[in-house]
């Protein structure tokens, strides 16, 4: 079980990471605006712009997913189940939660990436 002060610390981390993710999403949104077809930028740089756009779209999608997970976990941060692996029911080590507060499983049960 998490100690009360550990839970408080994690809640702060979650809040901070949510704010960071929101900021990142705002920034990425600027980069995924439609690429201008203005001939003056030239064919190569337009291709660059399109490439960058898809990289940024990918990053935007990932950040949005992460934000959702963080918000979900924020919603349960005061419940008993927070910090408990949803697969095996063992406590998730504090160090793992500190590093990845949105984690809902212990290292053993984590899906391989
Ligand atoms: Zn587990």
pLDDT at 24: 97
Instruction: Give pTM, 2 decimals.
Output: 0.82
Residues with CB under 5 A from ligand 1 (ion): 85, 87-88, 106, 109
Distance in Å, CA 38 to ligand 1 centroid: 53
Q: Round to whole Å and give the CA distance between 9 and 98.
A: 8
How many other C-beta atoms are found inside a 10 Å radius of the C-beta of residue 87?
13
d(CA 97, CA 13): 9
Å from CA of 45 to ligand 1 middle = 48
Ligand 1 center from residue 73 Cα (angstroms): 17
Select from 55, 26, 49 the least CA-distant residue to 36. 49
Q: How many CA atoms lie within 13 A of 75 on its CB side?
A: 6
Q: How far is the CA of 61 from the centre of ligand 1 (A)?
A: 27
Judging by beta carbons within 10 Å of its beta carbon (0-12, 13-18, 19+), is residue 92 exposed, middle or buried?
Answer: buried
The pLDDT profile of the chain, 113 residues, written as one tens digit per residue, is 899 999 999 999 999 999 999 999 999 998 888 877 666 667 778 788 888 889 999 999 999 999 999 999 999 999 999 999 999 999 999 999 999 999 999 999 997 75
* Model pLDDT, residue 113: 59
Domain spans of the chain? 4-99
* Rounded Cα gap, residues 78 and 10, in angstroms: 11
């Amino acid at each position: 079980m998490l100690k009360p002060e550990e839970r408080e610390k994690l809640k702060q981390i979650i809040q901070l990471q949510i704010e960071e993710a929101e900021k990142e999403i705002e920034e990425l949104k600027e980069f995924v605006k439609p690429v201008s077809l203005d001939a003056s930028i030239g064919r190569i740089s337009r291709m660059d712009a399109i490439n960058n756009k898809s990289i940024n779209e990918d990053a935007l999608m990932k950040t949005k997913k992460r934000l959702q997970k963080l918000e979900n976990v924020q919603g349960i941060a005061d419940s008993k189940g927070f910090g408990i692996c949803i697969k095996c029911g063992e406590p998730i080590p504090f160090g793992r939660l500190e590093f990845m507060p949105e984690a809902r499983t212990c290292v053993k049960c984590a899906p391989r990436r």
